[in-house]
Structure 1
Amino acid sequence: MATILMAAPPLAPRPIAAWSTPMAFFDSKEHRPALKQLQQSAPVARSRKERPCDGCRKRKSKCVLQEARRCVLCEFHKQDCTFVEKAQPRKRKLEDGSLCESTAKKSPTSATVSAGRTQTQTPAVVVASVPVARKPFAVDESLSLQRHRHCKLLGQTTALDASLVGLGAFNDKNETESRVGTLRQVTGSEFFSIHADADVPIPDDEARALAEIAAIVGQHGQALIDIYFRNVHPSYPIIQKEAFLDRVRHGDKQFNPPLLAAMYLLALSWWDQDPVLSQQTKPDVLRLEHIAISSLTFAMQRPKMSAVQAGLLLLQRAKSSTWTLTVQLVALGQDIGLHLDCSDWSIPLWERRLRKRLAWALYMQDKWSAVMHGRPSHINGADWAVQHPTMSDFDESIPAVVTDSSAEDTDPQSAKGRTIFMQMITLTSIMADVCSTFYSQTARTESARAGRYSTQLVLNRAKPVQLKLKEWFAKLPPECKMDHQTLGTTGPLSSTGYLHLGYFATEISIHRRIVQSLDPATADPYMLYICRSAAKTRLISAMDFVNRLRPEHLQAFWFFPSATNFALIGTFGALLQATSPGREEAGFYESRLREYKWTLAVSSKKARWIGDAVEVLEANAELLGGLGEKPVTVVAQPRKVAQEKVVQVLDASMAAPQLLQQEFDFLDGEEEEDDEMMEVDGW
């Protein structure tokens, strides 16, 4: 058996070598980074008259025999090298083909669309009838986006100790061979095991899935990809745009099926708003979604960033936002090390930037899904080491690849979207604090133990979180204000709506817990008045925000929890109605809830997904039907008198009067700040 010679072990991980242009690049599989060194040092291949071995035929790889009649790739994969299987008939090339083939020549639809709107069209794919020398695809130089290999993180407690793995003989790609497979070192203490996709057999044919996707989308693939990068990507940049378009330009047919289907699905949300596409027959959304979900199930068995990307995009669709898939994606992200700080890893710079953006998108998915479904979060802060992104992390340029990224860096719409994405990360961190402070099992247990003082405990804990939230709002950049108009952009759509809706959902989650802690049987009536007045103020502000949403907000991209956040406003109003002490107050909330439901119903004509929130409001209304008749109450006393009396009636032996007075001051200032915030925000 021939021995594969490895390079001497380096003292430290070497940086990823820059691309070098090969003399010819006709067979992309021949130039896989993991196999390039093996093939370059192997014997000369036999003539084409000799058939390849069974393994290479399945892999569609070049078969290079050694003297012992065992080919290099079978030696590499540690499998038998046989010549017994019959050759499979050649498959016809698809007429519609995949994304690449459908965009080889511009479809009439996409060509017409460009005349009606100003946009940067994705360059048409180069027809591969004449081979053109080119550099390897950027994804094949990466760690977690290679087309033929996938990786898994070797954690600190596994049977392979990092100190021992570091003794391996690493080549110029920081990889070494071992009995458990190829090991790759990305930093002094972090290692991954690298596996060939062919080593993980799955009962699915990616080529068939891509063909089905292409058949469903037809000639509209190019137009939908343009829509995706125009409407979704700016404020949800989890794809490396230039790496993706580089593959499209050069006719790569090995796209990840669930990722491609998910991109199409999101783009189809704007089908009816397009003046040309709306006149065409819309692709079968349900069939496309079925293919995306089923192919994602298989793709997750080969951990890659593309599978995480596909899952996150699918979860942006309201009907697809399931808790189970979210948990699977968190596990998948940990499998490829997205929870780690990759700042000094020996991987391409563009991949480090993409990893950071994708990691935070996964973080937000986990935290807001926990809010939506009332579940505990699966991302632990103690094990989260990802640094917050900066503007430089949104640079999508790739060395030696001709791109339009420089133009996008100066595009106001793209810059605005990136700012929204970063602000949503900070807001999500605050919401995570709210959930752990008020809704964790530990917090609920402590509140129950506090008994009659539970409201005071909740108020005490609410103040620091509330102040942090107000500080976040006060520091919002101008481009994140609701009234901000972006000059020179390609369209009027603005995604600032989902950011502000998330803010109100966070505010309401705090006051919801305060109201839940109030017990009319034991609480002082003046305390009830103060807390309920503050809650009423927040509800009115949130409803007024929804009333002021314009079409450019409603038709833009909305983050996945938005339908739930709209519903949370209505749920909070229903809670206040149900706990109202008298008939007059209950009637007020009933009236406001009817108005709010009408507003959402009208808004759903521009954004159909809002209909899910309307259903929740209808369900709440049915439950409120069982609410008994409220008694007639006297007019409540003024706020200031209420504060003075509640402090007077508190037990003098308690240490709480001064603290409680501070909490009242804190709640008392909310009503005034609401008006100020709305003025600052331009509403």
Structure 2
Amino acid sequence: MATAMAVPPLAPRPSPRPIAAWTPPKHHMEGKENRPALKQLQQTAQPNRPRRERPCDGCRRRKSKCVLQESKKCVLCEFHKQDCTFVENAQPRKRKADDGMKSDSPAKKSPAVTQRPLPPAPTPPRPKTESAPLVGVVQPSMRKPFAVDETLSLQRHRHCKYLGQTTALDASLIGLGNFNDKNETESRVGTLRQVTGSEYFSTHADADVQIPDDEARALAEIEQVVGPHGSALIDIYFRNVHPSYPIIQKRAFLDRHQHGDRRFNPPLLAAMYLLALAWWDQDPAVSSHSKPDVEKLEYIAITSLTISMQRPKISAVQAGLLLLQRPKSSTWTLTVQLVALGQDIGLHLDCSDWSIPRWETLLRKRLAWALYMQDKWSAVMHGRPSHINGADWNVSAPTEEDFDESIDPLPTPSEDVDPQVSKGRIVFMQMISLTNIMAEVCDTFYSEKAKAEYTSAGRYATQLVLNRAKPVQLKLKEWFAKLPTDCKMDSFTPGQLSSQGYLHLAYFATEISIHRRIVQSLDPATSDPYMLYICRSAAKTRLISALDFVNRLKPEHLDAFWYFASASNFALVGTFGALLMATSPGKEEAYFYACRLNEFKWTLTVSGKKAVWIHGALEMLDATSEMLRRLPEKPSATPTSELHLREFLGSGS
């Protein structure tokens, strides 16, 4: 009889080693030991070595610094798609006139120098296929190491994909691998990287993904469009967009940009330029020059983003979110693609204890919530189901510490933050809180399940809606009561842009979305007259408050950054007024709403001269006005109100 044996469970692999914090290179030291990308070489090299290691043949001919990767292929050879060999002899050095007596004989070389092992079967190098250098760009041979070299999702030559719990690769089995000091182990499906005791990513070389285009050409086309104004546009972006929409690590970006590295993600760079162009005429540094071709830049951005999404990286998500902030550019398809891309790199997970640089942790958190808001407000705008499920969302709300822009291992102590930047961060955090309430509004009143329940409730539908509306309204009221002073509409300095306008508009859109469902549930034939009066009076009050808010907008508000959903939210205000007008019991009340809608349209027309994106809301108002012309006749107490109402409907205002 066989004896049963107990199989012990697999012990999980210990938590990964923390990734060493990136530190800027010391410019007076030239050795490769300062490069974080060469940790493996650091371990084998001896201290105080007299000479550097031998470069590969390609880097020797280019006179470039050779950065060897774990694939035994240096960065530049991989970039130029050529073999990385060590078979050619060194060329004699050209000595200066006063250095003629010095000898460079091999006999004087120190025996302590560690040489790289030659490959067993070297192949002749391919002809060089270097791309044409970008104008005004420092070439890769002159670059220094950057903070992105140690990240998980921002590496320039690799991308990653999250391995979920239900995939064919079990975390317990992955933990059996041999991990190096970067918490990586090789496998047949790519290099696997551990970030926590149970979370893993597969990482892949960008060169492994065959794409029909190359980044160098897209970057060259972008720089050709913007000409010499690239740096000025970057300054405009970080001055006007970044404070209110902090989805880029400013110091890590500028660290590369200011040192001549232009090998950025093409759609991200193009998207930053496109958003900055909104302030072209107001900026004295560029306003006197011809504006770049916006349509051509948009085409490059969209086409290069399609290619970039094949290599999942944080930069692709950033690019997509920025492109969606442009007027009339928010598409449901791209939003859904970005949600999938974000899940591919694990943005829906809590990364607070991951073995990644601290600044990447903070960036991931901010970017995750930006993606969350994009999904929820896009669902409102397009009337579609949200694609982010709360049960699978494990990202805590950001705090002020999560906006630290330093790339040091520890938070920057007592750093003075510009008041405008501080205000933008607060508005961003408040928008996240408001979005959570709006998401609850959509689930409670506009989901398919909720709509079916209200339909089956029949004459009791209004009561059911009111019962469900009360707790959400209390949350919204509490949110508004606790709004920080910096977020108030009157908290701005004359002459300085102030971006809290989009936050208040989103608040009114959330309120209106609740009352819109209440008004839709009312039936004059079956509803209690008192309940009918109370509900319509409350809706009227909310509409008047929203219209007054629009009237109080200042140039400092209109010229600032506005969230992508703002034009749609303005249109929601007009739609709500049209709904109240259409459901009015008599001509007097309908005439009141007709007058207010006419004033609203005039205000938006005037404001649209400062904020061109408002024209999208005006187009929706025009469409609504055409529908109102088909209103059936309503009873009238006075002939005057009937005459005014006919004039309003006849003009299409």
TM-score range, shorter-chain basis? 0.7 to 0.9
2:630 to 626, 629, 632: 626
1:282 maps to 291
Instruction: Quote the offset at 1:278 in angstroms.
Output: 2.5
Return the alpha-carbon distance in structure 2 between the equivalents of residues 81 and 378 of structure 1: 51
Q: Percent sequence identity over matched residues?
A: 70
Q: State yes or no: 1:147 paired with 2:156.
A: yes
* Residues 154 and 192, structure 1, Cα contact 8 Å, conserved in 2: yes
Return the alpha-carbon distance in structure 1 between the equivalents of residues 78 and 356 of structure 2: 30
1:422 maps to 429
2:570 maps to 566
Return the alpha-carbon distance in structure 2 between the equivalents of residues 148 and 197 of structure 1: 5
1:478 maps to 485
Instruction: Quote the offset at 1:140 in angstroms.
Output: 1.1
* Residues 10 and 169, structure 1, Cα contact 8 Å, conserved in 2: no
* Residues 364 and 428, structure 1, Cα contact 8 Å, conserved in 2: yes
Instruction: Quote the offset at 1:348 in angstroms.
Output: 0.5
C-alpha deviations, 1:103-127, integer Å up to 9, x for none?
A: xxxxxxxxxxxxxxxxxxxxxxxx6
1:458 to 465, 470, 474: 465
Q: State yes or no: 1:257 paired with 2:266.
A: yes
Return the alpha-carbon distance in structure 2 between the equivalents of residues 73 and 160 of structure 1: 34
2:280 maps to 271
Cα–Cα, structure 1 residues 189 and 628, in superposed 2: closer, same or farther, change >3 Å? same
Mapping of residues 264-663 of structure 1, within 5 Å: 264-399=273-408, 409-485=416-492, 492-632=496-636
SS at match of 1:320: coil
Mapping of residues 229-268 of structure 1, within 5 Å: 229-268=238-277
Cα–Cα, structure 1 residues 34 and 564, in superposed 2: closer, same or farther, change >3 Å? farther
* Residues 13 and 176, structure 2, Cα contact 8 Å, conserved in 1: no
What is the one-letter code of the residue matched to 1:17?
A
* Residues 395 and 409, structure 1, Cα contact 8 Å, conserved in 2: no
Cα–Cα, structure 1 residues 233 and 459, in superposed 2: closer, same or farther, change >3 Å? same
Instruction: Quote the offset at 1:45 in angstroms.
Output: 5.6
TM-score under structure 1 length normalisation:
0.79
Return the alpha-carbon distance in structure 2 between the equivalents of residues 45 and 562 of structure 1: 55
C-alpha deviations, 1:236-284, integer Å up to 9, x for none?
A: 1000000000001222131000000000000001112224422221111
SS at match of 1:184: strand
Instruction: Quote the offset at 1:303 in angstroms.
Output: 0.3
Instruction: Quote the offset at 1:178 in angstroms.
Output: 1.4
Return the alpha-carbon distance in structure 2 between the equivalents of residues 477 and 245 of structure 1: 31
What is the one-letter code of the residue matched to 1:24?
E
1:94 to 131, 134, 141: 134
* Residues 192 and 201, structure 2, Cα contact 8 Å, conserved in 1: yes
Cα–Cα, structure 1 residues 370 and 217, in superposed 2: closer, same or farther, change >3 Å? same
Instruction: Quote the offset at 1:235 in angstroms.
Output: 1.1
C-alpha deviations, 1:574-618, integer Å up to 9, x for none?
A: 001111110111111111101100000000000000010011001
Return the alpha-carbon distance in structure 1 between the equivalents of residues 282 and 510 of structure 2: 31
What is the one-letter code of the residue matched to 2:80?
K
Q: State yes or no: 1:226 paired with 2:235.
A: yes
SS at match of 1:234: coil
Return the alpha-carbon distance in structure 2 between the equivalents of residues 554 and 354 of structure 1: 28
Instruction: Quote the offset at 1:461 in angstroms.
Output: 0.4
Cα–Cα, structure 1 residues 410 and 90, in superposed 2: closer, same or farther, change >3 Å? closer
2:197 maps to 188
* Residues 54 and 84, structure 1, Cα contact 8 Å, conserved in 2: no
2:147 maps to 138
Instruction: Quote the offset at 1:39 in angstroms.
Output: 9.7
Instruction: Quote the offset at 1:354 in angstroms.
Output: 0.4
Return the alpha-carbon distance in structure 1 between the equivalents of residues 612 and 504 of structure 2: 19
Instruction: Quote the offset at 1:12 in angstroms.
Output: 2.6
What is the one-letter code of the residue matched to 2:149?
D
What is the one-letter code of the residue matched to 1:546?
V
SS at match of 1:195: strand
Cα–Cα, structure 1 residues 445 and 131, in superposed 2: closer, same or farther, change >3 Å? closer
What is the one-letter code of the residue matched to 2:270?
A
Return the alpha-carbon distance in structure 2 between the equivalents of residues 74 and 151 of structure 1: 30
Mapping of residues 194-213 of structure 1, within 5 Å: 194-213=203-222
1:16 maps to 19
Cα–Cα, structure 1 residues 392 and 55, in superposed 2: closer, same or farther, change >3 Å? closer
Return the alpha-carbon distance in structure 2 between the equivalents of residues 450 and 83 of structure 1: 77
What is the one-letter code of the residue matched to 1:282?
K
What is the one-letter code of the residue matched to 2:481?
A
Cα–Cα, structure 1 residues 160 and 598, in superposed 2: closer, same or farther, change >3 Å? same
Return the alpha-carbon distance in structure 2 between the equivalents of residues 388 and 361 of structure 1: 11
Instruction: Quote the offset at 1:94 in angstroms.
Output: 3.4
Return the alpha-carbon distance in structure 2 between the equivalents of residues 598 and 167 of structure 1: 68
1:60 maps to 80
Return the alpha-carbon distance in structure 2 between the equivalents of residues 253 and 25 of structure 1: 24
What is the one-letter code of the residue matched to 1:294?
T
Cα–Cα, structure 1 residues 131 and 448, in superposed 2: closer, same or farther, change >3 Å? closer
Return the alpha-carbon distance in structure 1 between the equivalents of residues 401 and 118 of structure 2: 43
Return the alpha-carbon distance in structure 2 between the equivalents of residues 606 and 253 of structure 1: 33
Return the alpha-carbon distance in structure 2 between the equivalents of residues 128 and 203 of structure 1: 24
What is the one-letter code of the residue matched to 2:309?
M
Cα–Cα, structure 1 residues 55 and 612, in superposed 2: closer, same or farther, change >3 Å? closer
Instruction: Quote the offset at 1:524 in angstroms.
Output: 2.3
Return the alpha-carbon distance in structure 2 between the equivalents of residues 246 and 36 of structure 1: 25
What is the one-letter code of the residue matched to 2:617?
A
What is the one-letter code of the residue matched to 1:60?
H
* Residues 77 and 84, structure 2, Cα contact 8 Å, conserved in 1: no
* Residues 357 and 393, structure 1, Cα contact 8 Å, conserved in 2: yes
SS at match of 1:277: coil
Return the alpha-carbon distance in structure 2 between the equivalents of residues 444 and 10 of structure 1: 48
Return the alpha-carbon distance in structure 1 between the equivalents of residues 482 and 251 of structure 2: 32
Return the alpha-carbon distance in structure 2 between the equivalents of residues 61 and 39 of structure 1: 27
Mean Cα displacement is larger for which, 405-414 or 460-469?
405-414
Instruction: Quote the offset at 1:167 in angstroms.
Output: 1.6
CA RMSD of aligned residues (A): 3.3
Return the alpha-carbon distance in structure 1 between the equivalents of residues 361 and 467 of structure 2: 41
Cα–Cα, structure 1 residues 632 and 36, in superposed 2: closer, same or farther, change >3 Å? farther
TM-score under structure 2 length normalisation:
0.83
What is the one-letter code of the residue matched to 1:414?
V
What are the ranges of 5 or more consecutive residues in structure 1 without an aligned counterpart? 1-8, 102-126, 635-683
Cα–Cα, structure 1 residues 241 and 39, in superposed 2: closer, same or farther, change >3 Å? farther
* Residues 350 and 397, structure 1, Cα contact 8 Å, conserved in 2: yes
Q: State yes or no: 1:175 paired with 2:184.
A: yes
What are the ranges of 5 or more consecutive residues in structure 2 without an aligned counterpart? 1-11, 47-52, 63-71, 88-115, 639-653
SS at match of 2:492: coil
Count of residues in Structure 1 that have an aligned counterpart in Structure 2: 582
Cα–Cα, structure 1 residues 93 and 84, in superposed 2: closer, same or farther, change >3 Å? same
C-alpha deviations, 1:198-241, integer Å up to 9, x for none?
A: 01111111111111111111111111111110111111100000
Cα–Cα, structure 1 residues 619 and 33, in superposed 2: closer, same or farther, change >3 Å? farther
Cα–Cα, structure 1 residues 73 and 499, in superposed 2: closer, same or farther, change >3 Å? farther
C-alpha deviations, 1:5-63, integer Å up to 9, x for none?
A: xxxx97431000234759537899x974697689979x966656899999974533795
